[in-house]
């Protein structure tokens, strides 16, 4: 009886332990399902979404469903599933479903899918189709899906600026394509044919003008800034297109020099192709990869005394070992030498941003503040004039209008100036952080703050390069040593078995 009792007790304990263990597994599975946690152990964070993508996905206000059209067993299916899992991990607003085109042709017809390997994003009453799924393409599709309108970025023409449709090394064709992927429409603008900057302009860009702007064009740009416009100016050394005085009016000084950086030559480049870095806490600088290439740049700086309502921050600076060279004759001779008292030592500012708030004006157009007070002071000995009843009533009406206008915020213009235009051309756009810098600048100026961040990583090719000795070692190990070891082991096993027969 005691043995039976002992067995029964042992069985009950074992059953309880098994039930407890299974209960722990169920609870752990429920916790993991409701609170998943991902760790990316790859060297370059291959399976980690970029900060920009995370910001956009987490900011979704409505559900977005992704339909992935792949055949069963297709090689790219698992890769796309991993990518979509990364998106769904960031927000419960993202859901996805895989569809076999052969098994569900009705869904294929509904979304007009032309080939397998296509992902369709559906949400906000719209759809976007991605034929080559990647983080970059899916994030761009999300931006277009959630954006209410396509903003226009106007590039000024008529002064020898960089051309949007130019596919040559110095052209901006790739920049145009990059802007279109971010849901912007890049168009040309000739101010000589327009009375003013178009009302639908989100950003106006002057990219390396060579010929002088006419006074009427300058006035158009000033008027645009006064209404809260956003302008991006990118200049090359010793050429400003007549914009020097315009920039000086907002406290921005551009110097007649060219940046020399011996460090860049040590890294395999030319001493006129400095490696620059972002500076400060401004969103453009803080969300851009630290290093960029600025081929043939000029220095920029803020004036000692800024105009009223203007504040300036630096965005991009050169290395401490650089300097601003003012003598082109020395460079033409190949003599690169810092001249004390003539050249400006680094670090140098090659990019800055100015926030421009126009002084307030009353209903009569007079500037408020000290200027209006000075205007109200009469000459000594003049008699003051008492307003009539009608004038008093008119004055009270003006006061009411003024109080109403105070509720409307004053327009604030923004002006970004880079002492280089080639960092955004077809040759250098994809290098280091150049692409992030120009796209973050446009996104900030157009007030698309959610898009100001580091862009999704583009897939890069990483070739394995072996030295001669490494190639020989690999040959002897894989071709000679490994087969020889297998052969020796085979002979040894054969002899052992033969001896035991």
In sign, the C-alpha dihedral spanning 122, 456, 165, 413 is positive
Distance (Å, whole) CA 404 – CA 419: 42
C-beta of residue 441 within 8 angstroms of C-beta of residue 298: no
* For residues 90-102, average pLDDT: 92
The answer to whether residue 395 scores a pLDDT higher than 80 is no
**Secondary structure of 419-433 as H, E, C letters:** CCCHHHCCCCCCCCC
At residue 40, the pLDDT reads 53
* For residues 404-428, average pLDDT: 80
Q: What confidence tier does 30 reach under pLDDT thresholds 50, 70, 90?
A: confident
The answer to whether residue 401 scores a pLDDT higher than 60 is no
C-beta of residue 178 within 8 angstroms of C-beta of residue 210: no
* For residues 8-12, average pLDDT: 72
Give per-residue pLDDT as tens, 308-318. Answer: 999 999 999 99
Distance (Å, whole) CA 345 – CA 323: 4
CA 201 to chain centre: 20
* For residues 88-113, average pLDDT: 91
- The region of weakest confidence among 48-62, 218-232, 464-478 is 464-478
At residue 372, the pLDDT reads 41
Considering only residues 195 and 167, tell me which one the structure prediction assigns the higher pLDDT: 167
- The region of weakest confidence among 140-149, 194-203, 344-353, 427-436 is 140-149
At residue 371, the pLDDT reads 44
Q: What is the pTM of this model?
A: 0.63
Give per-residue pLDDT as tens, 286-308. Answer: 877 668 899 989 999 999 999 99
Give per-residue pLDDT as tens, 343-393. Answer: 888 899 999 999 998 765 554 545 544 444 443 334 444 444 444 444 544
The answer to whether residue 237 scores a pLDDT higher than 70 is yes
Give per-residue pLDDT as tens, 317-337. Answer: 999 889 888 877 766 666 677
Specify whether the backbone of 296 is left (phi greater than 0), alpha (psi in -120 to 50) or beta. left
In the beta sheet, which residues pair with residue 130?
119
> Which is nearest to 236 in space by CA: 173, 148, 163, 297?
297
H-run or E-run covering 29: helix 2-34
At residue 37, the pLDDT reads 55
* For residues 67-76, average pLDDT: 89
- pLDDT > 90: what percent of the chain? 36
C-beta of residue 273 within 8 angstroms of C-beta of residue 296: yes
């Amino acid at each position: 009886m005691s043995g039976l009792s002992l067995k029964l007790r042992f069985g009950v304990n074992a059953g309880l332990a098994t039930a407890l263990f299974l209960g722990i597994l169920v609870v752990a599975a429920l916790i993991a399902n409701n609170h998943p946690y991902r760790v990316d152990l790859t060297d370059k964070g291959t399976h980690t979404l970029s900060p920009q993508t995370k910001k956009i996905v987490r900011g979704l206000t409505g559900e977005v469903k992704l339909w992935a059209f792949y055949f069963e067993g297709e090689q790219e299916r698992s890769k796309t599933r991993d990518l979509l899992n990364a998106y769904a991990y960031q927000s419960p607003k993202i859901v996805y479903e895989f569809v076999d085109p052969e098994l569900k042709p009705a869904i294929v017809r509904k979304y007009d899918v032309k080939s397998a390997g296509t992902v369709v994003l559906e949400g906000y009453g719209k759809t976007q189709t991605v034929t080559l799924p990647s983080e970059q393409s899916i994030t761009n599709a999300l931006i277009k899906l959630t954006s209410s309108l396509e903003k226009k970025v106007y590039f000024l023409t008529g002064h020898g600026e960089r051309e949007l449709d130019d596919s040559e090394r110095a052209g901006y064709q790739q920049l145009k394509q990059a802007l279109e992927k971010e849901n912007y429409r890049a168009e040309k603008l000739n101010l000589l044919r327009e009375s003013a900057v178009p009302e639908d302009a989100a950003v106006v860009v002057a990219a390396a003008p060579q010929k002088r702007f006419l006074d009427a064009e300058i006035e158009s740009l000033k008027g645009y800034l006064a209404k809260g416009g956003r302008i991006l100016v990118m200049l090359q050394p010793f050429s400003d297109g007549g914009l020097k005085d315009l920039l000086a009016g907002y406290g921005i000084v551009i110097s007649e020099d060219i940046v020399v950086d011996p460090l860049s030559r040590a890294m395999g480049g030319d001493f006129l192709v400095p490696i620059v870095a972002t500076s400060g806490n401004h969103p453009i600088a803080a969300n851009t990869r630290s290093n960029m290439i600025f081929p043939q740049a000029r220095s920029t700086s803020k004036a000692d005394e800024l105009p009223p309502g203007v504040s300036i921050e630096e965005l991009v600076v050169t290395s401490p070992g650089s300097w601003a060279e003012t003598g082109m004759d020395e460079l033409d001779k190949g003599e690169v030498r810092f001249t004390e008292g003539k050249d400006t030592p680094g670090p140098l500012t090659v990019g800055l941003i100015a926030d421009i708030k126009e002084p307030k004006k009353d209903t009569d157009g007079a500037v408020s503040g000290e200027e209006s007070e000075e205007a109200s002071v009469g000459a000594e000995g003049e008699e003051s004039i008492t307003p009539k009843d009608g004038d008093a009533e008119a004055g009270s009406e003006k006061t009411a209008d003024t109080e109403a206008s105070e509720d409307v915020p004053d327009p604030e213009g923004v002006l970004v100036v880079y002492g280089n235009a080639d960092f955004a051309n077809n040759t250098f756009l994809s290098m280091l952080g150049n692409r992030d810098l120009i796209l973050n600048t446009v996104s900030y100026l157009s007030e698309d703050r959610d898009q100001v961040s580091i862009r999704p990583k583009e897939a890069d090719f990483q070739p394995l390069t072996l030295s001669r000795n490494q190639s020989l070692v690999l040959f002897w190990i894989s071709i000679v040593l490994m087969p020889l070891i297998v052969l020796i082991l085979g002979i040894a096993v054969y002899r052992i078995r033969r001896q035991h027969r």
